[in-house]
Structure 1
Amino acid sequence: MNVRKVPVAQGVEWMKQAVNIGRRNPRAVFGAAVLFLCTLYFASVLAVLPVASRLQGRSELSFGESVAVGIPLFVVLTLVMPVLLAGLIHVMHEAEHGRPTRARDLFAAFGHGRARPLMTLGLVQIVFNLGCVGLVVLLTGPDYWAESMKALQGALSGHVVVPPEPDHPVLLFLVNMLQFVFNYFSAALMLLCVPLIALSNVGIVESLRLGLRASVVNLGANLVASVVFLAAFLVAAVVVTLATAVVGGIAALIHPVLGVAVALGVWAVFAVTVLVVLVAASYYAWRDMFDVPVAPSTDARMQIEA
């Protein structure tokens, strides 16, 4: 199984192709993206509900309470994300090859034993993140993050706060640089390993090996694609913000609730579009980087694992 080295400019081509991903079956692709976000939101609610129910009516949370809410949310989303990404990529793959597919095929990754290695990929991400957090805490001191959270809460409340100083500021700068590198490999591995597992039928260990190698070999193309995506995202976000202010303001003249609903609708469309473009870019990157036979297409109506 080989990893292709692609030209640096290929990152731009991935983004161009990603913009047109829904041309063959927009109903399935964008419908799956909507279902993706709804499922992610539902999983988030389930993750924080046990803790949030005990904090009902509280306007401010302590550092420990924030951690109690954040940890289950992070774990659940990190485990669920690869499975949903695989489902969305599956829908895109079927649509690109002209095969019939539907929005609910988002859950196709649960069939044929794919969910377990995909969730294992999420578990690997959790372990890597814990290692990175442990290193940061080791270098900044045990009280740095607690004081940072208090400072953030104070700033949000309108108070003047003094940011805490870490025990080793110079080392913290190096850690921040390492965090940037970690974020690159973390995102690259997630976006490349998911299609390797879902479409190329590669095991978790082999997918990590291939994904890591492709992340290094095609560093230039990946960075170009990232820069193009972020630049387009920022420009689009500004345009959407202005459009929301205008359209939402006009709708609010009819009724304030209508104005809020229109604004939320515009931002929901924007979120779905961003998700589709990002995942589509990773799909085209996988297709160009890996010289592997694609696993046979499975029936989208596969049964969900027990």
Structure 2
Amino acid sequence: MSTRAMGPMAGLGWLTRAINVGRNGPGAVFGGAALMTVVVLAAVFAGVALQFALAATMGDGLTGMMLGTAVMSVLVIVVMAMMVVGFLRLLDRVESGSGARATDVFAGFGDFATSLRTIGLMVMLAVLQNVILIAVLMTFAGGFVQWYLQMLQSSMAGGGDPAMLDQLPAGMGIASVAMLVVGLVSYGVQAIALGQVVLRGRGVFSALGDGVVGTFKNLLPLLVFVIAAIVAMILVSIAVLLLAMLIGVLAKFAGAWLAVVLAIPLYVAGMLAMYVVMFGAMYHLWRDVCGGGAAAVTAPVATDGIAA
């Protein structure tokens, strides 16, 4: 399947359309995001409990913690992948105007074949991204792994050594820039590949190939998207800071309970908005690059299995 190269300003369009993604069905979009958040958080808490249980039962605390982290990561990826199937299809139905409900976010649990491919894709992407990040760190900041393990052991031994935070390995500045580039490419590959699997029924390797080709064709609009997203985050952060100051002033007159009552729903709303914008941008990126017409992709289509 061919992918298209978009103009630089397409990146700005992905962000603006992601911000407006819930205009046709806010109840379905934000309700689905809320359900997805609850389910994923439940998986995270279960994974953390399992992580500490493994660390406590194994003689080597560090080994147990690392094994528990791996198990927790797999559990979260599996649950997240199944929810992503439903949420991307929910967004597609909303954008096509065909109608959607918040409970459509659970569609992945009823389409095990697509969920299995999505799980395989997300695991593969996570492994590839981590391998690349480790390679970047070893190339530009060779002492990072040893420094990180020392930090982890110090933390488990009794709170950690704050002085170690000032002893970052040489080359971390260049490594950080390289990791930002890796993150940019990874986001594009993930957005396109997920859309191909979930909404086009492509196999894992076929979708991954589409993601890589489509991303490198659109590095410039992706860069514009990231810059626009950073500017938007700065503006939102300023607005949140001003709002927090206002809540603090009101709390002085009415009591601390008012700060809690106002802050919790605002925090939850912010988290849901972040979810919606993130997946909305991924959906519109995929739709532009792969030419996906919303009305044509709401139903599963024939797949080529796990392989290309």
Deviates more, 1:139-148 or 1:189-198: 139-148
**Contact 1:5/1:217, CA 8 A, preserved across alignment:** yes
> How far 1:65 moved relative to its partner?
6.4
Tell me: CA distance 1:213–1:55, structure 2 relative to 1, closer, same or farther (3 Å): closer
**Contact 1:151/1:163, CA 8 A, preserved across alignment:** no
Q: Distance in 1 between matches of 2:165 and 2:130?
A: 27
Per the alignment, residue 79 of structure 1 pairs with 78
**Alignment of 1:115 onto 2:115:** yes
Tell me: CA distance 1:245–1:52, structure 2 relative to 1, closer, same or farther (3 Å): farther
Q: Distance in 1 between matches of 2:115 and 2:248?
A: 41
Per the alignment, residue 144 of structure 1 pairs with 147
Per the alignment, residue 288 of structure 1 pairs with 288
Superimposed CA distance per residue, residues 87-124 of structure 1 (whole angstroms, 9 cap, x where no aligned partner): 22211110111112111111112333210010001210
Aligned length: 291
Give TM-score, length-normalised by structure 2. Answer: 0.81
Per the alignment, residue 305 of structure 2 pairs with none
Q: Which runs of 5+ in 2 are unaligned?
A: 301-308
Amino acid at match of 1:297: T
Tell me: CA distance 1:43–1:9, structure 2 relative to 1, closer, same or farther (3 Å): same
> How far 1:25 moved relative to its partner?
0.8
> How far 1:240 moved relative to its partner?
1.5
> How far 1:262 moved relative to its partner?
2.2
Tell me: CA distance 1:222–1:150, structure 2 relative to 1, closer, same or farther (3 Å): same
> How far 1:162 moved relative to its partner?
6.0
Q: Distance in 1 between matches of 2:182 and 2:71?
A: 22
Tell me: CA distance 1:72–1:261, structure 2 relative to 1, closer, same or farther (3 Å): farther
Deviates more, 1:138-147 or 1:184-193: 138-147
Per the alignment, residue 20 of structure 2 pairs with 20
Per the alignment, residue 49 of structure 2 pairs with 49
Deviates more, 1:116-125 or 1:285-294: 285-294
Q: Distance in 2 between matches of 1:162 and 1:285?
A: 38
Per the alignment, residue 132 of structure 1 pairs with 132
**Alignment of 1:183 onto 2:186:** no
**Contact 2:43/2:75, CA 8 A, preserved across alignment:** yes
> How far 1:193 moved relative to its partner?
1.2
Q: Distance in 1 between matches of 2:4 and 2:297?
A: 22
Per the alignment, residue 236 of structure 2 pairs with 236
Amino acid at match of 2:209: R
> How far 1:40 moved relative to its partner?
1.3
SS in 1 for 2:8: coil
- 1:172-211 to structure 2, matched below 5 A, reads 175-211=175-211
Q: Distance in 2 between matches of 1:3 and 1:129?
A: 22
**Contact 1:109/1:198, CA 8 A, preserved across alignment:** no
**Contact 2:86/2:108, CA 8 A, preserved across alignment:** yes
Per the alignment, residue 92 of structure 1 pairs with 91
Amino acid at match of 1:212: V
**Contact 1:240/1:266, CA 8 A, preserved across alignment:** no
SS in 2 for 1:108: helix
**Contact 1:249/1:259, CA 8 A, preserved across alignment:** no
Give TM-score, length-normalised by structure 1. Answer: 0.81
RMSD: 3.2
Percent identity over the alignment is 20
> How far 1:54 moved relative to its partner?
7.6
**Contact 2:12/2:225, CA 8 A, preserved across alignment:** yes
Superimposed CA distance per residue, residues 167-196 of structure 1 (whole angstroms, 9 cap, x where no aligned partner): xx45x6665454333222222222221111
